[in-house]
Amino acid sequence: MIVGLFNDWVVVFLMMSGLYIVIAHGNLIKKIVGLTIFQTSVFIFYISMAKVDGGTAPILADDITLYSNPLPHVLILTAIVVGIATTALALSLVVRIKETYGSIEEEDIQHQDNQTLEMNKERKQS
């Protein structure tokens, strides 16, 4: 054993790079990619918890006694497929935003929103 917690540290590193992309980048697709990385880090975290030294994959066979924990595998297996379905939903929102605003950069969208707000205000005052 070199460092017993290295798996957790790898997960924390991946998670933080995902979080950094979500915070620091304005492009919506980049943000979704960041969320995907964040998501995968959680997957790796669960699977690494399930690992048992000397154990094998949880498929029963006669001469094997030690198995990895099957429960996290089940949770993550479904989570991956649910994850791609929700990512697709996010991507379709991005497509609609592009159609409406003509841009997928956060700043441009904010700018356009502010302009319409001001226009509405002026209209009310007059």
Measured from the CB of residue 90, what is the shortest distance to another protein in angstroms?
A: 10
Q: Closer to another protein by CB, 49 or 112: give it.
A: 49
Comparing CB distances to another protein, the nearer of 56 and 114 is: 56
**If you ran DSSP here, which 8-state letter would residue 4 be given?**
T
Amino acid sitting at position 84: I
Neighbouring-strand partners of residue 56: 67
Least distance CB 9 / another protein (angstroms): 6
HSE (side-chain half, CA atoms, 13 Å) at 119? 6
User: What's the min distance (Å) between Cβ of 93 and another protein?
Assistant: 7
CA dist., res. 69 & res. 82, Å (int) = 21
Distance separating alpha carbons of residues 9 and 51, to the nearest angstrom: 16
Nearer to another protein, 61 or 125 (CB): 61
